Structure 1
Amino acid sequence: MTVPARTTRTAVIGDVARLAGVSNQTVSRVLNDHPRVHPETRDRVLEAVRQLNYRPNAMARGLVRRRSHMIGVVSFDTVLFGPAATLLGIGRAARAAGYGVNIITPETADRAGVIEAVETLASQAVAGVIIVFAPQAAAATALYNLPSNLPVVAIEVGVNDEIPTVRIDQSTGARLAVEHLLELGHQTVWHVAGPRDRLDAQDRVEGWRATLEAAGRTVPPVIVGDWSAEAGFQAGLQLARRDDVTAIFAANDQMALGLLRGLHESGVRVPDDISVVGFDDIPEAGYLIPPLTTIRPDHDHVGRQSVTALLHLLDHRTGTGQIPAKIVPTLIRRRSTAPPYVAS
């Protein structure tokens, strides 16, 4: 396959067809993932697309097929690692499927804010909408008031099975954190939780509590945070004043980072005096002092799964679409956890 001499103009579908030795219609079938294309032909077309750096015109394709090729996204807490990494997964999956992405962050995290954001996206003729990490109270009412003809997929919003929802198995993640600390010999585990209006935070609380109860251990009072390092810092100062704390599970790595600072400033050594486990596995987790043991959910996969579920809705337009299985996180062991110190 010989690439034509480079020119300054943007490649069009005819250029791809000529380079691959096929018709324009065949190129279109490959780009739209039509099943009746021979594998060798598909490979030739995709190689030509790569060599020519061909980018289909999403708007034109939408007009031809009477279907928009833009996905609307309503997202909250985009400065946090989990939502940001999820958005990255959505963007990658959307581009791979030939869709653009239009992201709106509501001015208010309530029912009216969610509805207004979705209505704005609907007015821009998006093919469907993905709602990312909405506060539970807002989502529970807003999702019942969206346009009935607009395909919607939610991430971590437990309304009901009428709306396809992509979820991380938060309870299992919390269980892995607590079991790890108990297996090291800690008698119980304290928890610095996320906001009460977030389903993912409450699922982590339930997983933490259930694991302690199943092991017959004392369940300490929950310390409620807001996902921020400042909340973790204040919790660290508070817990450092107690002499019955040897292990802490933080609901996200930002709060765990703050915990480490609060404990350090209080003269508490991690993990010699207190072990700390986070949740998210932010890119910096392995470079903290000490490197942070944490729970790793695959946020990128969450984003990709939400696009897959939305595309299934768009292709079928009946029923509730595919409800993806919960995505199970993994424990990443580093040096912020150790057996409790026992005085000789």
Structure 2
Amino acid sequence: MADVAAAAGVSAQTVSRVANGSPRVDPATRARVEAAMSDLGYRMHRAARALRTGQTSTIGLVVSTLASVGNSRMLQAISEAAAARDYALAVVTVGERGIRDAFARLRAQGVDGAVVLNEATELVRDIDPPGDLHLVVVDSPPDERFSIVQTDHAGGARLATEHLLALGHPTVHHIAGPARSFAAAERERGWRAALSDAGVTAPEPVRGDWTSASGHSAVAALTGATAVFVANDQMALGALRAFADAGRRVPDDVAVVGFDDIVDAAEYRPPLTTVRQDFDALGRDAVTALIAAIEGGVPVAQTVPATLVVRASAR
């Protein structure tokens, strides 16, 4: 820090303020200090900083699985958002010992707070979270104990269903996600609401587990369906293969819409119409809300809009 101060022609206190993101530095001075940091290869020493401030500048991520594309995309988004704020990231999965053990492992690493992702949020709702661990939950019903960041799952599902109805289909079938998933329940709710508003009775949904294999299996129960809204793109991929195996052409015989807009959705055969989740915005909002809580802010609830991306599978 003394070397940076000498190179920039400022005091060590000014360097400290720049390093800690203090607004009490004018832009020209900040730019000069940051240039000196870059030239000298200066990096904040996290262990020393933790001894002084009581904070490690490390946040945790609690996740049930990283096998699903949505969860892995969220991991990437949160990791990038944390790095942009100069925070490190520690990841733990919820194993056989449960959510309490996951929190204990994060606390042993001295994290300042944690983001709880998707399926793991159900487990958090059933316990009293550690009072000394700031939490942001991705996808959850309202809960005053922590901040919540989520996609507008119901709104996105409504867009998908209304699009299929507008194409002239008499009804829209649904391959739903796991029964205890908040995101799956919200997508099912949006699908039902769109059908109800159109005066259409909702068919019985077929439930999968987010995997392509479960989407493939679900198609056996959809004999005669001409339009299907699938709760995620991976299950939609399995459904596309199942319809092809059965000799049913997409979209000529049956239209298919997914949810997520994963990277490969445009490469499916045919390219998949889907609802896009903005994973980058979710990651940024989750990290921003968590750092705000760490710095003394109050819990917040934020919803990120979803958008429909129309491709060849339903148009």
**Range of TM-score over shorter length:** over 0.9
Name 1:60's counterpart in structure 2: 48
Deviation of residue 49 (structure 1)? 3.9
Deviation of residue 45 (structure 1)? 2.9
Closer/same/farther in 2, CA of residues 140 and 43 from structure 1, 3 Å limit: same
CA distance in 2, matches of 1:77, 1:199: 16
- Residue 104 of structure 1, aligned match among 92, 117, 125: 92
Closer/same/farther in 2, CA of residues 256 and 63 from structure 1, 3 Å limit: same
Contact 2:62 2:120 in 1 (8 A): no
Closer/same/farther in 2, CA of residues 22 and 237 from structure 1, 3 Å limit: farther
Q: How does 1:21-40 map to 2 (within 5 A)?
A: 21-40=9-28
- Residue 118 of structure 1, aligned match among 103, 118, 121: 103
- More displaced 10-residue stretch of structure 1: 35-44 or 303-312: 35-44
Closer/same/farther in 2, CA of residues 49 and 280 from structure 1, 3 Å limit: farther
Cα deviations by residue, 1:84-130 (Å, 9 ceiling, x for unpaired): 1111121112112221111000113xxx5111100111122211121
Partner SS, residue 126 of structure 2 = helix
Q: How does 1:177-326 map to 2 (within 5 A)?
A: 177-239=160-222, 242-243=223-224, 245-316=225-296, 321-326=298-303
Name 2:73's counterpart in structure 1: 85
- Residue 140 of structure 1, aligned match among 113, 125, 135: 125
CA distance in 1, matches of 2:37, 2:237: 44
Contact 1:140 1:159 in 2 (8 A): no
The yes-or-no answer on 1:169 pairing with 2:152 is yes
Closer/same/farther in 2, CA of residues 18 and 283 from structure 1, 3 Å limit: farther
Letter in 1 for 2:254: I
Deviation of residue 322 (structure 1)? 4.1
Deviation of residue 25 (structure 1)? 2.3
Closer/same/farther in 2, CA of residues 52 and 169 from structure 1, 3 Å limit: farther
Q: RMSD in angstroms over aligned alpha carbons?
A: 1.8
Aligned length: 315
CA distance in 1, matches of 2:55, 2:272: 46
Unmatched tracts of structure 2, length 5 or more? none
Contact 1:134 1:157 in 2 (8 A): no
Contact 2:121 2:137 in 1 (8 A): no
TM-score norm. by structure 2 comes to 0.94
- More displaced 10-residue stretch of structure 1: 287-296 or 89-98: 89-98
Deviation of residue 50 (structure 1)? 4.3
Deviation of residue 237 (structure 1)? 3.6
CA distance in 2, matches of 1:234, 1:249: 15
Partner SS, residue 59 of structure 2 = strand
Cα deviations by residue, 1:197-221 (Å, 9 ceiling, x for unpaired): 1101101001100110011112111
Partner SS, residue 308 of structure 1 = helix
Closer/same/farther in 2, CA of residues 335 and 48 from structure 1, 3 Å limit: farther
Unmatched tracts of structure 1, length 5 or more? 1-12, 339-344
Which structure dedicates a bigger proportion of its chain to strand?
2
CA distance in 1, matches of 2:50, 2:61: 18
Closer/same/farther in 2, CA of residues 116 and 312 from structure 1, 3 Å limit: same
The yes-or-no answer on 1:43 pairing with 2:26 is no
Partner SS, residue 325 of structure 1 = strand
Between the aligned residues of both structures, percent identity stands at 42
Closer/same/farther in 2, CA of residues 14 and 324 from structure 1, 3 Å limit: farther
CA distance in 2, matches of 1:49, 1:274: 59
Closer/same/farther in 2, CA of residues 82 and 48 from structure 1, 3 Å limit: farther
CA distance in 2, matches of 1:324, 1:41: 36
Cα deviations by residue, 1:146-187 (Å, 9 ceiling, x for unpaired): 221221111112251221111111100101111111111111
TM-score norm. by structure 1 comes to 0.86
